[in-house]
């Protein structure tokens, strides 16, 4: 782990698309007038013929990508996550997913990361909506490395994927680790008292919380659930069989997100005590990213408090 080195996932997206542009002639990239924000602009400059800026029209963009995919291309459709997944929801369902098309839906500025733009721009129900789409893989990378590897893998996958992308620079966690494995949970550390299942940016907070809990004599197992769908049930069940309790942590509403996915699976396969960290059923607001996460209960302290409660309760 290298906490000093910070790179944003969007920057990594820009770079990996440029790299894939030469390796994969079927790759086309579409953006909805936010390419300089999402960083797909770099692909556009290198491969102008394979880049389509459709203006502020996310639904239209998703369908154009669908048409291209039906004719042999591998499109990446990029926009702000909230508008891509909500304005484009019906297109994602009825064109991309119903027809099982190989399209990557790249949701930028996800979670609370578009922090200063306020609640209207913060994407905290996207996982819930995307998870309900048949055929769609849902991936929440935890750092720029995972993002890069996820895009590299899913561009070759014969079906659609939603990849959630944070706006801000975040620590590079997996530079020296095994590569991201689609559909597999990555175990960050072994533990025996409680499982913390986390996805995306809050992984750093989870790791710091685990450190503090260790000093209090609590052994935490951390699971990085970067593939929300399909969910790696086996790893989850094996972990809670050992720890007997689980806390989920995500930058998303607690309704329908990764926590819900974990609860659905465990309730059926191996019920244990569970609690959820995420945004409660409310609208968020404008503010600096980290402070915003903290205010809405996605912080090291919130993780420690809820973990302690699970252990004591």
Partner 1 sequence: MKNFKGNPYRNIEGEADLLLESIKIQYFAQQCRIDVFKMLHKQGNGHWGGSSSIAEILSTLYLHFMKTNPENPKNPDRDRLILSKGHAAPMLYNILAKKGFFPVEELSTFRKLNSHLQGHPCMNKTAGVDMSSGPLGHGISVGLGMALAARLQKKDYWTFVIVGDGCLNEGESWEGIMSTAKFKPPRFVIMVDYNKVQLDGPCSEIMPLDPLSDKFRAFNLNVAGKVYDGHNVMEIIKSLEWAKQNQGKPCVIIYKTHKGKGVSFMEDNYKWHGGTIDDKSFSLGIIELSETLLKFKNELS
* Residues that bind partner 1 in the complex, under the rule CB under 8 A: 28, 49-50, 52, 54-55, 57, 59-60, 63-73, 90-91, 94-95, 98-100
Q: At what angle do helices 203-215 and 300-312 cross, to 10 degrees?
A: 50
Residue 117: strand, helix, or coil: helix
Residue 88 or 111: the one with the smaller Cβ distance to partner 1 is 88
Residue 52 or 289: the one with the smaller Cβ distance to partner 1 is 52
Handedness of CA 218, 229, 173, 110 (dihedral sign): negative
CB 78 within 8 A of CB 30: yes
Distance in Å, CB of 108 to partner 1, minimum: 20
Query: How far out from the chain centre does Cα 189 lie?
Result: 20
Residue 161 or 253: the one with the smaller Cβ distance to partner 1 is 161
Name the residue with tokens 């809990």.
Answer: 213
Instruction: Determine the Cα–Cα distance for residues 88 and 138; give it in Å rounded to an integer.
Output: 16
Nearest to 81 by CA among 41, 137, 140, 36: 140
Residue 27 or 173: the one with the smaller Cβ distance to partner 1 is 27
Distance in Å, CB of 67 to partner 1, minimum: 2
Residue 50 or 252: the one with the smaller Cβ distance to partner 1 is 50
Residues 58, 221, 250, 251: which is the catalytic one? 58
Q: Which residues contact 214 (CB under 8 A, 6 or more apart)?
A: 220
CB 167 within 8 A of CB 114: yes
**Phi, psi of 183, rounded to the nearest 5 degrees:** 85, 0
Our answer to whether residue 58 is catalytic in this structure is yes
Active site residues: 58
């Amino acid at each position: 782990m290298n906490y000093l080195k910070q790179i944003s996932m969007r920057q990594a997206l820009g770079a990996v698309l440029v790299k894939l542009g030469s390796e994969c002639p079927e790759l086309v990239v579409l953006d909805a007038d936010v390419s300089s924000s999402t960083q797909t602009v770099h692909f556009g400059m290198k491969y102008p013929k394979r880049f389509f800026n459709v203006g502020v029209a996310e639904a239209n963009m998703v369908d154009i990508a669908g048409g291209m995919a039906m004719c042999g291309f591998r499109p990446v459709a990029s926009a702000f996550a909230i508008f891509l997944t909500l304005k484009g929801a019906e297109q994602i369902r009825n064109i991309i997913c119903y027809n099982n098309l190989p399209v990557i839906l790249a949701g930028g500025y996800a979670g609370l990361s578009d922090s200063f733009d306020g609640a209207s721009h913060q994407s905290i129900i996207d996982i819930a909506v995307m998870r309900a789409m048949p055929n769609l893989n849902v991936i929440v990378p935890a750092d720029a490395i995972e993002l890069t590897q996820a895009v590299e893998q899913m561009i070759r996958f014969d079906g659609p994927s939603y990849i959630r992308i944070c706006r801000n620079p975040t620590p590079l966690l997996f530079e020296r680790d095994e590569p991201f494995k689609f559909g597999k949970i990555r175990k960050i550390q072994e533990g025996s008292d409680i499982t913390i299942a986390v996805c995306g940016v809050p992984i750093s907070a989870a790791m710091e919380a685990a450190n503090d809990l260790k000093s209090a004599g609590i052994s935490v197992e951390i699971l990085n659930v970067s593939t929300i769908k399909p969910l790696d049930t086996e790893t989850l069940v094996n972990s809670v069989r050992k720890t007997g309790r689980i806390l989920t942590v995500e930058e998303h509403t607690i309704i329908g997100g990764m926590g819900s996915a974990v609860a659905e699976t465990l309730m059926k396969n191996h019920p244990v005590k569970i609690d959820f960290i995420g945004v409660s059923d409310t609208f968020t607001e404008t503010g600096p990213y980290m402070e915003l996460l903290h205010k809405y209960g996605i912080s090291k302290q919130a993780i420690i408090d809820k973990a302690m409660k699970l252990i004591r309760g």
